């Protein structure tokens, strides 16, 4: 299903105003300086922040429409969400966190646990399946959050810096997990600070500055022709 978003959100002094479309099975990477509104954009699509104008649609399904006063609660959007503060259930194990969504959808306990263990192995956390989430490191919790986001067969994926604190090998594994989920026809919005993630994973790159899209296109094309000083710096670092 096509993810179709026009998100206008007021947050403090920041006005976010972005339109985007992510086709089924495609990845849109979102980059931008700190405070440019990347997390706010994901939160708006997830339904955690109300739109002051615009809409969020998945295929024919309208998740939010500001003009109509329509706002479906986050839990009813059936999206796979891994935001920056993880928000894992701290008292539950990594396995229980990943199995939570499928269980809520009626998957039997043994099957949900087995699927969770397989996903945790995929993100390099097989040995931490029984670890309580509040005893995981930041990077480990982030990987559990990604596994949890893809576990519940979401209709779209929203991942905020899923590869942030990972070493190269682990990064590769987690990218693979995201790629496989997307290959099932799921559109994904992925916030990253690293151009390499965009180059390796994304079909399109959207650059946000001060709440607005300042450049978008194929990642390699954006990197080859930076429109702003920020994009120039990112391209030079990549």
Closer to ligand ATP by Cβ: residue 84 or 131:
84
Residue 222, both tokens: 């954006």
Nearer to ligand ATP, 25 or 164 (CB): 164
Least distance in Å: CB of 157 to ligand ATP?
17
Q: Which of residues 78-107 bind ligand ATP (CB under 6 A)?
A: none
Site for ligand ATP in 15-74 (CB under 6 A): 32, 34-40
- Alpha carbon distance 158, 83 (integer Å): 8
Please give the size of the binding site for ligand ATP, defined by CB under 6 A: 11
Cβ nearer to ligand ATP, comparing 12 with 169: 12
Q: Given strand 61-65, what is the order of strands in its sheet?
A: 14-22, 3-11, 53-58, 61-65, 70-71
Looking at beta carbons only, is 79 or 99 nearer to ligand ATP? 79
Comparing CB distances to ligand ATP, the nearer of 107 and 146 is 146
Considering the complex, state which of residue 83 and residue 151 has its C-beta at the smaller distance from ligand ATP. 83
- CA atoms of 210 and 204, how far apart (whole Å): 20
Helix-helix angle 168-183:109-122, to 10 degrees: 130
What residues between 105 and 164 interact with ligand ATP by CB under 6 A?
Answer: none
**12 touching ligand ATP, by CB under 6 A:** yes
- Tell me the C-alpha to C-alpha distance, in Å, between residue 152 and each of 145, 149, 221: 12, 7, 34
**Distance (Å, rounded) from C-alpha 61 to C-alpha 84?**
26
Interaction between residue 11 and ligand ATP (CB under 6 A): yes
Which of these segments, 7-15, 68-76, 164-172, 176-184, binds ligand ATP (CB under 6 A)?
A: 7-15
Residue 59 C-beta: closest distance to ligand ATP, Å: 26
CA 7 remoteness from chain centre: 16
Instruction: Name the minimum Å distance from CB 14 to ligand ATP.
Output: 4
CA atoms within 13 A on the CB side of 23: 5
Question: How far, CA to CA in Å, does 165 sit from each of 159, 184, 194, 199, 226?
Answer: 14, 26, 11, 18, 26
192 binds ligand ATP, rule: CB under 6 A? no
- Applying CB under 6 A, the residues found at the interface with ligand ATP are 11-12, 14, 32, 34-40
């Amino acid at each position: 299903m096509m993810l179709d978003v026009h998100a206008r959100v007021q947050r403090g002094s920041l006005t976010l105003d972005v339109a985007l479309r992510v086709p089924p099975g495609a990845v849109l990477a979102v980059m931008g300086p700190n405070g440019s509104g990347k997390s706010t954009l994901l939160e708006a699509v997830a339904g955690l922040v109300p739109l002051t104008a615009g809409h969020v649609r998945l295929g024919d399904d309208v998740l939010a429409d500001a003009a109509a006063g329509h706002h479906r609660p986050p839990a009813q959007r059936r999206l796979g969400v891994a935001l920056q503060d993880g928000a894992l259930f701290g008292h539950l194990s990594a396995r229980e966190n990943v199995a939570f969504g499928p269980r809520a959808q009626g998957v039997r306990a043994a099957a949900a646990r087995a699927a969770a263990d397989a996903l945790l192995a995929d993100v390099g956390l097989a040995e931490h399946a029984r670890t309580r989430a509040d005893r995981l490191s930041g990077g480990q919790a982030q990987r559990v959050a990604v596994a949890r986001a893809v576990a519940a067969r979401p209709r779209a994926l929203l991942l905020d810096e899923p590869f942030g604190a990972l070493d190269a090998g682990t990064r590769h594994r987690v990218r693979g997990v995201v790629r496989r989920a997307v290959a099932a026809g799921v559109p994904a919005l992925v916030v990253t600070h690293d151009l390499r993630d965009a180059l390796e994973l994304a079909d399109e790159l959207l650059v946000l500055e001060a709440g607005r899209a300042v450049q978008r296109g194929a990642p390699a094309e954006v990197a080859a022709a930076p429109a702003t000083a920020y994009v120039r710096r990112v391209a030079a670092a990549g």
